[in-house]
Structure 1
């Protein structure tokens, strides 16, 4: 009898310097398990590792996270009492430290990735799915998208990073409505405060990712790092100054100057 291998929980493709990671659990509305979080972390880390091997910017310019099926992510899989991982080990479900560690490792990987990470959103985004969207640098979404973090209805505590990130990106009032009052944030509300960039179809989302991928990689890395720095003293640190100096001394800035003189679009190489 021929055994049918299970579908990968996370799909990965790279084309035109854009790596697309797809949540592939549509039957469960892409509800996250510890294994899915670990797989996403591994794929994002692979981009960073490539950059380290090349002693510079990775060949991937943009990471896009999207999902199969009508929902982007239904949050953590609360129905999973236990989880069989690809390696054959068994871990406790999402109420365990194992899931929390995997989730926060994934969020850290997104925030610290050397390239911008874009969430390509359609449909509901709930709980841990909203945390994933918050961690991303940019979000594109259709009008059927909505966000909710139902921790108050489940009796969960929510980590300080997520609370402050929601407050910073959504604004204090909207964050309070979502977190304390358990209210949905609609696509129109999210667009009004700049949390999402509205798109009408997948082609527009792909075009947006392509346009961002053509921007200067070193400049985007410097901006992302500074924007994500929680400690204001980072802006005066040696690391911040090194990224700043790298941009101003790069061949990319010379290319931009020459392209302006020649009335053409610049071609950046991340060096």
Structure 2
């Protein structure tokens, strides 16, 4: 499966997110055992399409539905990260079972630079993949982390080409599907499944309705760095 919106750098909106969800469901229904997801051009997915209504609850709900479909599918899904995986693009890669990355690929979750709150699933899934220390570095700084460093921390399973990703997915598809399904269920039953506590939910809501978030959106539109005030 290839994301083909090069004019938007494969950024996600509700329609594309829904398309990914339906495609995963269709491939599983057709009896396939594995799937590779990648992007066209030099970008895997540049995150949410900030011009496409992504600040609405409709996009957020659809994106969660897409991630849950990938996570709960019986398919073993391999992300071939062919370039930048930013924000929602990093979430998409993290929802997959395995990640193969181009040597020039990188990941970034720059939420602290944009003023909004991540869902608990993303924070906890990242923590389960790379450990708490590196997860904090990624999220507190928002800095990009390239393929080699990401591989050293477990976010990337292999560095290679799309052919490597396809060959790996094809090989895994020959293994015992019931065993793989059980393993996937166990791996994904991590702290990412925990519901936010009341204080966490309140803090997230505060960020989402804050003046800081409005300032970040204005700054993005004006091409400048936001000035956060904590209100």
With the length of structure 2 as denominator, give the TM-score of the two structures.
Answer: 0.79
Match of 1:205 among 165, 180, 185: 165
For residues 198-225 of structure 1, the C-alpha deviation after alignment (integer angstroms, 9 at most, x for no partner) is: 3332222221121111111111001101
List runs of 5+ in structure 2 lacking aligned partners. Answer: 192-231
Q: CA deviation at 1:190?
A: 1.2
1:26 aligns with 2:10: no
| 1:139-178 aligned within 5 A | 139-178=99-138
Distance 2:150 2:177 in 1: 27
Larger radius of gyration: 1
Using the alignment, how far apart are the partners of 2:73 and 2:111 within structure 1?
27
1:84-123 CA-partner distances (Å, limit 9, x unpaired) = xxxxxxxxx0000010011000000000001211101111
Q: Does 1:75 align with 2:35?
A: no
**Greater RCO, 1 or 2 (C-alpha within 8 Å, sep 6+):** 2
1:66 corresponding residue in structure 2? 38
Greater shift, 201-210 or 37-46, is seen at 201-210
Q: Secondary structure at the match of 1:66?
A: strand
Uncovered stretches (5+) of structure 1, i.e. residues with no partner? 1-20, 51-57, 81-92, 232-271
The structure richer in helix per residue is 2
Q: Show the counterpart of 1:6.
A: none
Name the CA distance, whole Å, in 2 between partners of 1:141 and 1:36.
22
Looking at structure 2, the residues matched to 149 and 199 of structure 1 have their Cα atoms a distance apart, in angstroms, of 20
Q: CA RMSD in A?
A: 1.4
- Following the alignment from structure 2 to structure 1, what is the Cα–Cα distance between the partners of residues 24 and 167? 21
The residue aligned with 2:199 is: none
* TM-score, length basis structure 1: 0.68
